[in-house]
Structure 1
């Protein structure tokens, strides 16, 4: 059994039972961080979020929400929300969206989203500054099994977005969103590049012009 310590290993997968995992995250409720559980292993990400990570996080949320608004796509976005299949899987992606007929499927007042009761999000996004390889590997497998329709990894270092469509517990790289038809991944990457040189409000104005042209 893993002993509960003040400092637990972070940014790595640790073999543990579900009961131990629940005990650990209960004791860490007052600390900032994210937790994942997959195939009998847990992962904690407790390090402070960097300026670059936080900035790209906001740009992506603004871009997706703006596109959905202009195209009349019903959308509900979630920031670092816990999605759980009790005893099996647990995750806290940086960003998640329920779209169209699912936009209102999770009622107000919900805490942890129970995936034994509700469907997985249509779109999940991880912002990767120090966790890129894990986001592309183990977490991608986790989201495939959860039934997420589309998964993006934002590579903060290179202002790149690696996007996948997911079906039958597999994934395939895409250059245009399937859950947000007409949204070109390269446009979002250009927005990330521009955010290195201009304010987010200016980037939003640029995105507005791009989306209205299409």
Structure 2
């Protein structure tokens, strides 16, 4: 990759050394871009984010936070945070959660999360509209190797969630969260569908009722 290259293709994996990747991040000042590095390739995903992507992002964060609150599960959610294993892998998932004893594992004031010092998130979520195939493919392999316990891909166009449990650098489809037992994926999908037709506050009230019924 030429050091004088000023325009790089986005939403695709291109070959680059780790040093070239860091130089691109510095020179292009891509504060509003998501960046990934995996097996000698880099990927940039640029703003803007669509309306549907944005609203699904909000619903997913609310749902997980509400569920963990009602279940009294310690949780720390992170929005588009950089996780790095220097020279090897880097990612910026849309949403990530540390749960239970790991919720306080990273101190406030931390910048890029160094995965040689801190654990990988328990749950990683990508909100996919134009990046769906990559989220299901290469990024899933990336998160498997990082040691993420569970991975969800939100298919914005179809209001569908493809969820995987991960172990031993492999993954398997699930219909109920393993890191948040009792959280059924179908409930999440119904919340996404309802958000297309009604306000988010009404969707949140509906979710509250569903989770409280589980307690009854």
Q: TM-score range by the shorter chain?
A: over 0.9
Is 1:92 equivalent to 2:92 in the alignment?
yes
Is 1:105 equivalent to 2:105 in the alignment?
yes
Equivalence for 1:149? 149
Q: Offset of 1:4 from its aligned partner? A: 4.4
Q: Offset of 1:26 from its aligned partner? A: 1.6
Secondary structure in 1 matching 2:104: coil
Secondary structure in 2 matching 1:52: helix
Secondary structure in 2 matching 1:37: strand
Q: Offset of 1:28 from its aligned partner? A: 3.1
Aligned ranges for residues 33-44 of structure 1 at < 5 Å?
33-44=33-44
Is 1:201 equivalent to 2:196 in the alignment?
no
Cα 1:4–1:51 change in 2 (3 A) is farther
Q: Distance in 2 between matches of 1:69 and 1:4?
A: 50
Aligned ranges for residues 159-170 of structure 1 at < 5 Å?
159-170=159-170
Q: Offset of 1:133 from its aligned partner? A: 0.2
Cα deviations across residues 17-53 of structure 1 (Å, max 9, x unaligned)?
Answer: 0000001012233541100000000000013100110
Equivalence for 1:135? 135
- Do 1:120 and 1:146's aligned partners in 2 also have CA atoms closer than 8 Å? yes
Equivalence for 1:79? 79
TM value normalised by structure 2: 0.97
Secondary structure in 2 matching 1:101: helix
Equivalence for 2:118? 118
Q: Offset of 1:8 from its aligned partner? A: 1.2
RMSD: 0.9
Unaligned runs of 5+ in 2: none
Unaligned runs of 5+ in 1: none
Cα deviations across residues 98-121 of structure 1 (Å, max 9, x unaligned)?
Answer: 000000101000000000000000
Cα deviations across residues 148-183 of structure 1 (Å, max 9, x unaligned)?
Answer: 000000000000000000000000000000000100
Equivalence for 1:48? 48
Q: Distance in 2 between matches of 1:45 and 1:183?
A: 30
Secondary structure in 2 matching 1:103: helix
Aligned length: 214
Comparing 47-56 with 163-172, greater Cα deviation is found at: 47-56
Is 1:70 equivalent to 2:97 in the alignment?
no
Q: Distance in 2 between matches of 1:27 and 1:65?
A: 36
Q: Distance in 1 between matches of 2:106 and 2:4?
A: 33
Q: Distance in 2 between matches of 1:200 and 1:64?
A: 15
Q: Distance in 2 between matches of 1:165 and 1:206?
A: 27
